[in-house]
Structure 1
């Protein structure tokens, strides 16, 4: 099968371009237009001309950061990026996954192909080769304060371009030298500005934000479907989602969630007198909770895609107009704010589903369902506990997600001799957001397990009030295929892991997507 190619350097890229490259579904290619090639060449030529005139350029003929007052003689400028890469090789913590590493490569390529970084065509071509052959730098997650960009993690890309450190290849952690030799890839010698161009930017936080966006958008839909199934299992009042009700509070995303719930529950704009007058908030207010995330998604996209399609290193090299700008585009404030906001909205989804799970387990609230959704026969009922521990687990995952909602962006630290005295913490915010997503996906998995069991019990009860609309029936049938009905207690870890993986792979088509 021939893979679609994503072209860098022609038009702005979308979040989906980065996620498809990260997952290996598409390949990267560079623009072949004369305009693009001339723009890249102009930046390189202008830098060379300045060096010939012995012009002063930060990070090219000077030291880095607070050391910008230290001059570097021309016979040493080619050694400077090597030292920059090496002294930043101090990352710690877990290693980014292959998907995350590929996303980071793609995000850095997106910035460099804006044509304002003074990098050579050879460097861009090597980045494309690494992406397409899935030779992905091993990058530790910890060590960035989000300005001067993601210096330490991005040094691992610079090192691989020069044939150093390690890479992921075919699922293994291997020496870069060995993989390059095997694939006949030539490493490059970084030109004077190219160390900064690779490292002094927001590619790590932006890449993680792209991956987070896709998962958050899917969770908004999934928790809506879980809410519909919870409402059915709990004999909730679908009138809470009536179109007339939501017409008077016209948040667009909130109204979208209500519309999806109406479709799932076949709601008519007429009060159902046979149902409880007012359901508890975790059902009745679900559109108001999920709707916050749904309404925030457009501006999350704007922040992320603007950053993705920006030149965000320093200095900025405008080769066409022969100007150099020294500034602070490496500052990741927009991504930090987006990720801090996203993790709060997502954690609220975990809290919502956790409360729904608590209701459906408790005989005081679950409208005649057995305690803890145990379907054990009467002779074995006293020794079976159903989903009791799953509910405890969901509560634990929710608590951890809520704990992580403290905004990272307010914890700026003054570093590097007070040169970097106000920093974004964008990469920490993005990493926190991914953890909150993981925990919320686990809570959603518990919610799916609960509604699969609860609806199964209702159908066994044959009470006649558990009618499913076609979309909900399709979802329920898929859950039945994967998750066996629980009669006697059994370990449920494998079921939860399977459901969590399915959520992350976005297995179920929801609401037309």
Structure 2
């Protein structure tokens, strides 16, 4: 093994060892649990409660007994989907799960990144740990091994219609457990079988229904939705901070965010956004003699951000309900001895939540782009230099400041807005009209992540420009009051991207800042809940 790989593996193991494990099984997981596993590499641990473990094993044992009695169970001794009318001979039952994983190995598109793959595995593990899937404890243990050893299946993003669950992408998780296909391990693409040998395990021989239990669920869309939620929440907080800083830079009016305005129109998220802005502007007096009312992108910012904040409240509800559900088919209840054939794999709630969230996020992009447009335009920015150029008077004719950055911001915004077409209304009848109404939940989640990516780019551009504008305001009017939270924010940004006096290429600054925003690291994580708001 290369020295670099050993160093990487050691550092990852050390990082995981320092983080408390998240317990799976017998408890309700939160979006934050999934984000910690995915982004912060927290390990997972199966619940040590003997009663919980016994129930998991009872489910697997009940299924074995049920089959031994000659009962018919979909996907266990029948074909899959439209082939449910095909009986599978007893001698072939053991081979059926692996065949399911193999014929679904047809995904395309980009591969999910490390955080996305970890979120998917954690979501599937939690659903199966609910105890209604008829799987063995050893399967849950191997899923936990994927997380804890960072054995990451290469999961293609495209190929799921969101019912019967995320079959094709989840087949890559099931295949990895069975020692098939490639996985990413210690920074290298490896054969799954060889990695399991290195970890001291034989590949898992999938028991009857275990292939179906792994694949016939909503884990891909749900894992991605958890990550989307966290990024959207951070973006909404950042949009509020940038509104406050833009108010300072434009010499605007803090009075637009007076608490009474939001008490008499009591949308919780709107009031929360206004409170953030008001806190950031605390102690700043409005200047006399300017416009009585700032333009809508400033004055109405809480009303735009508030829609996203309020949406996040019900998005959390629906995503966490899906995360903490048994969503495969059929379900096995060992307590009552029932096998329940249903449609819990349908991802409609995630689809609708992601369609709505991407629209709310795209509106944040539009808001920030409009604020940016005010800042660069000397007809509207109240005496700031054209395009926020920081050049001296002598050098001003050849310097263009943030002109091109604002053009790019508008391009990213337009693309984000274009992607707000809801995916959930594009159901397609598939699989011999057995899957004749499907959710498109995974497409909706991927669309939402793309809108987030574009909006984070807009936010990065707006951040650099607004900090530049505030510094220029201080240059023009040294008496300008910059409250402490905004001053600290400006200093944090400036440490990574210096004031633009002479034109320079800003791509590297923008990429670094966009990555920081995507990792929810530009405003304090705890700030997103400091007013007890929607998210």
User: What is the TM-score with the length of structure 2 in the denominator?
Assistant: 0.93
Deviation at 1:381, TM superposition (A): 1.4
Q: 1:478 aligns with which of 479, 484, 492?
A: 492
Give how far 1:375 is off.
Answer: 1.4
Aligned residue in 2 for 1:155: 171
1:148-297 pair list within 5 angstroms: 148-266=164-282, 273-297=288-312
1:348 equivalent to 2:340? Answer no
Residues paired across the two proteins, number: 511
Give CA-to-partner distance per residue, 1:390-446, whole Å, 9 cap, x none: 000000000000001000000000000000000000000000000000000000000
Deviations 1:369-398 (A, max 9, x none): 111111112222111111111000000000
Match of 2:531 in 1: none
Aligned residue runs from structure 1 range 84-163, under 5 A: 84-163=100-179
Greater shift in the superposed pair: 167-176 or 199-208: 167-176
Instruction: Determine the structure 2 residue equivalent to 1:508.
Output: 522
Offset at 1:179? 1.8
Question: What does residue 406 of structure 1 align with?
Answer: 421
> 239-248 or 214-223, which moves further after superposition?
239-248
* 3-state DSSP of counterpart to 1:317: strand
The aligned counterpart of 2:506 is: 492
The CA RMSD over aligned residues, in Å, is 1.4
Of the three residues 51, 57, 76, the one matched with 1:35 is 51
Range with greater deviation from structure 2 (413-422 or 296-305): 296-305
Residue 59 of structure 1: SS of its match in structure 2?
Answer: coil
- Which stretch of structure 1 is more off in the superposition, 214-223 or 44-53? 44-53
Contact 1:61–1:72 (CA under 8 A) maintained in structure 2: yes
Whole-angstrom CA distance in 2 between matches of 1:152 and 1:465: 61
Range moving further from structure 2, 11-20 or 26-35 = 26-35
Q: How does 1:348-427 map to 2 (within 5 A)?
A: 348-427=363-442
Q: Residue 339 of structure 1 aligns with which residue?
A: 354
Shift, 1:467, TM fit:
1.1
Q: In the alignment, which residue of structure 1 is the partner of 2:455?
A: 440
Q: Please list the CA deviations of residues 180-223 of structure 1 after superposition, one character each: whole Å capped at 9, or x if unmatched.
A: 22222321110111011000000000000000010000011001
Offset of residue 173 of structure 1: 2.1
Secondary structure in structure 2 of the residue aligned to 1:29: strand
Asked whether the equivalents of residues 231 and 519 of structure 2 are also in contact (C-alpha less than 8 Å), the reply is no
Deviates more, 1:29-38 or 1:343-352: 29-38
Is the CA contact (8 Å cut-off) linking 1:239 and 1:267 kept in structure 2? no
Counterpart-to-counterpart distance in 2, 1:512 and 1:347: 22
Contact 2:283 2:483 in 1 (8 A): no
Q: Measure, in 1, the Cα distance between the counterparts of 2:185 and 2:323.
A: 26
Report if the CA contact (8 A) 1:152-1:199 is conserved: yes
SS in 1 for 2:353: helix
Q: CA deviation at 1:26?
A: 1.6
| Equivalent in the alignment of 2:3 | none
Corresponding residue for 2:321?
A: 306
* Higher mean displacement: 353-362 or 496-505: 496-505
Please give the alpha-carbon distance, in whole angstroms, between the structure 1 residues aligned to 2:100 and 2:406: 50
Q: TM-score, normalised by structure 1?
A: 0.97
Which range is displaced more, 502-511 or 82-91? 502-511
Counterpart of 1:51 in structure 2 is: 67
Q: What SS is found at the alignment partner of 2:424?
A: helix
Does the CA contact (< 8 Å) of 2:167 and 2:215 recur in 1?
A: yes
1:136-184 per-position Cα deviation (integer Å, ceiling 9, x unaligned):
1110000000000000000001100100001111222222122222222
Query: Structure 2: which 5+ runs fail to align?
Result: 1-16, 529-535
Superposition deviation, residue 452 in structure 1: 1.4
> Given that residues 51 and 74 in structure 1 are in contact (C-alpha distance below 8 angstroms), is that contact kept between their aligned partners in structure 2?
no
For the 8 Å contact 1:239–1:272, the answer to whether it is kept is: no
Whether the 8 Å contact between 1:455 and 1:466 is mirrored in structure 2 is no
Quote the offset at 1:272 in angstroms: 6.5
Instruction: Tell me, in whole angstroms, the C-alpha distance in 2 between the residues paired with 1:282 and 1:26.
Output: 39
